[in-house]
Chain A
Amino acid sequence: MNSNRVAAAAIIAIAAALFALTFGFERLPEGITRGFGAEVFPRLVLGVIIALAALLAFTAGKPDPLPRIPPMVGISGASLLAFMALLPVLGMLPAMFVFLVGLGWLWRERRPWVLFLSSVLLTAAIWAVFVRGFGVQLPKGLFA
Chain B
Amino acid sequence: MEAFLGGMGLLLDPKILLVVFAGTLIGIVVGALPGISGSTTTALLLPFTITMGPVPAIALLGSIYCAANFGGSITAILVNAPGDPSASATAFDGYPMAVKGEAGRALGMSAVASAIGGIFSVVVLIVAAPLLARAAYHFGPPEYFALAIFGLSMVALSGGDSAVKNLIAGAFGVLIATVGQDITTGVERYTFGIYSFSDGIEFIPVLIGLFALTELLEQAAQLGKKTLVARLGAVRLPSWQDIKDCSKAIGLSSVLGTFIGILPALGATTAAVIAYVETKRWSKNKAEFGKGAIEGVAGPEAANNAAVGGAMVPTLALGIPGSTTTAIILAGLIVQGVRPGPHLFTEQPLLLYAVFSSMLLANLLYLALGLGFAKVFARVSLIPAPLLWPAVFVLSVIGAYAPNQAMAEVWVAIAFGFIGFFMRRYGFSPAPLVIGLVLGKMVEETLKQSLLIFDLNWSGFLGRPIALTLFGLAALFLLGPFLLQKLRGRS
Given A11-B168, A100-B390, check contact A73 B407 (CB 8 Å).
no
Q: Shortest distance in angstroms between A48's beta carbon and chain B's nearest beta carbon?
A: 5
| Interface membership of A84, Cβ < 8 A | yes
A105 to B217, CA, bound (A): 16
Q: Is the CB of A109 within 8 A of B384?
A: yes
Given A49-B171, A77-B217, check contact A114 B387 (CB 8 Å).
yes
Chain A residues within 8 Å of B38, by CB: none
Q: Is the CB of B171 within 8 A of A72?
A: no
Q: Shortest distance in angstroms between B156's beta carbon and chain A's nearest beta carbon?
A: 10
Contact with B along A123-144 (1 / 0, CB 8 A): 1001000100010111100000
Q: Shortest distance in angstroms between B402's beta carbon and chain A's nearest beta carbon?
A: 5
Q: Is the CB of A53 within 8 A of B168?
A: yes
Chain B residues within 8 Å of A81, by CB: 414
Chain A: which residue is nearest B444 at the CB level? A41
A49 to B456, CA, bound (A): 23
Contact with A along B189-221 (1 / 0, CB 8 A): 110000000000000000000000100110011
| Interface membership of B174, Cβ < 8 A | yes
Q: Is the CB of B405 within 8 A of A80?
A: no
| Interface membership of B18, Cβ < 8 A | no
Q: Shortest distance in angstroms between A82's beta carbon and chain B's nearest beta carbon?
A: 11
Question: From residue 17 to 48 of chain A, which have CB atoms closer than 8 A to chain B?
Answer: 18, 21-22, 25-26, 28, 32-39, 41-42, 45-46, 48
| Interface membership of B14, Cβ < 8 A | no
Chain A residues within 8 Å of B452, by CB: 34, 36
Residue in B168, B393, B405, B417 whose CB lies within 8 Å of A49: B168
Chain B residues within 8 Å of A118, by CB: 387, 391
Question: From residue 157 to 198 of chain B, which have CB atoms closer than 8 A to chain A?
Answer: 161-162, 164-165, 167-168, 171-172, 174-175, 178, 182, 184-185, 187-190
Chain A interface category by residue count = 35 or more
A59 to B482, CA, bound (A): 11
Q: Shortest distance in angstroms between B475's beta carbon and chain A's nearest beta carbon?
A: 14
Chain A residues within 8 Å of B385, by CB: 107
Chain B residues within 8 Å of A32, by CB: 185
| Interface membership of B389, Cβ < 8 A | yes
The residues of B with any CB-CB pair to A shorter than 8 Å are 51, 161-162, 164-165, 167-168, 171-172, 174-175, 178, 182, 184-185, 187-190, 213, 216-217, 220-221, 223-224, 384-387, 389-391, 393-395, 397-398, 401-402, 405, 407, 410-411, 414, 417-418, 421, 425-428, 444, 447-448, 451-452, 456
Q: Is the CB of A52 within 8 A of B171?
A: yes
The 4 closest A-B pairs by CB, nearest first: A109-B386, A107-B386, A38-B182, A38-B187
A104 to B390, CA, bound (A): 7
Given A45-B175, A73-B221, A136-B405, check contact A103 B184 (CB 8 Å).
no
Q: Is the CB of B221 within 8 A of A104?
A: no
Residue of A46, A104, A114, A136 with highest tally of chain B CB at under 10 A: A104
Q: Is the CB of A72 within 8 A of B168?
A: no
Chain B residues within 8 Å of A38, by CB: 182, 184-185, 187, 189
Could you tell me the dominant secondary structure of chain A's interface residues? Answer: helix
Q: Can you list 5 contacts pairing A with B, beta carbon distance less than 8 Å?
A: A42-B189, A69-B221, A69-B425, A80-B393, A138-B401
Q: Is the CB of B168 within 8 A of A36?
A: no
Chain A residues within 8 Å of B161, by CB: 63
The residues of A with any CB-CB pair to B shorter than 8 Å are 3-4, 6-7, 11, 18, 21-22, 25-26, 28, 32-39, 41-42, 45-46, 48-49, 52-53, 55-56, 59, 63, 66, 69-70, 72-73, 75-77, 80-81, 83-84, 87, 92, 96, 99-100, 103-105, 107-109, 114-115, 118, 122-123, 126, 130, 134, 136-139
Chain B residues within 8 Å of A26, by CB: 187-188
Given A70-B221, A122-B394, check contact A46 B175 (CB 8 Å).
yes
Chain A residues within 8 Å of B223, by CB: 70, 72, 107-108
Chain A residues within 8 Å of B220, by CB: 70, 72-73, 75-77, 107
Q: Shortest distance in angstroms between A73's beta carbon and chain B's nearest beta carbon?
A: 5
A76 to B392, CA, bound (A): 13
Residue in B174, B188, B393, B401 whose CB lies within 8 Å of A103: B393
Residue in B164, B165, B224, B414 whose CB lies within 8 Å of A80: B414
Given A49-B172, A72-B221, A96-B397, check contact A7 B426 (CB 8 Å).
yes
Residue in B51, B162, B178, B421 whose CB lies within 8 Å of A45: B178
Residue in B217, B405, B427, B444 whose CB lies within 8 Å of A76: B217
A54 to B284, CA, bound (A): 47
A38 to B247, CA, bound (A): 56
Chain B residues within 8 Å of A4, by CB: 426-427
Q: Is the CB of A36 within 8 A of B391?
A: no
Q: Is the CB of A77 within 8 A of B386?
A: no
Given A28-B185, A66-B425, A107-B390, check contact A84 B410 (CB 8 Å).
yes
Residue of B174, B394, B402 with highest tally of chain A CB at under 10 A: B394
Residue of A38, A53, A81 with highest tally of chain B CB at under 10 A: A38
Residue in A11, A83, A104, A126 whose CB lies within 8 Å of B387: A104
Q: Is the CB of B402 within 8 A of A136?
A: yes
Q: Is the CB of B427 within 8 A of A100?
A: no
A87 to B410, CA, bound (A): 11
Q: Shortest distance in angstroms between B416's beta carbon and chain A's nearest beta carbon?
A: 12
Chain A: which residue is nearest B178 at the CB level? A42
Other than the given A38-B189, A137-B405, 15 more pairs (CB < 8 A) read A7-B428, A25-B189, A28-B185, A33-B184, A36-B184, A48-B171, A55-B164, A56-B162, A75-B220, A77-B217, A84-B414, A107-B389, A108-B224, A118-B391, A136-B398
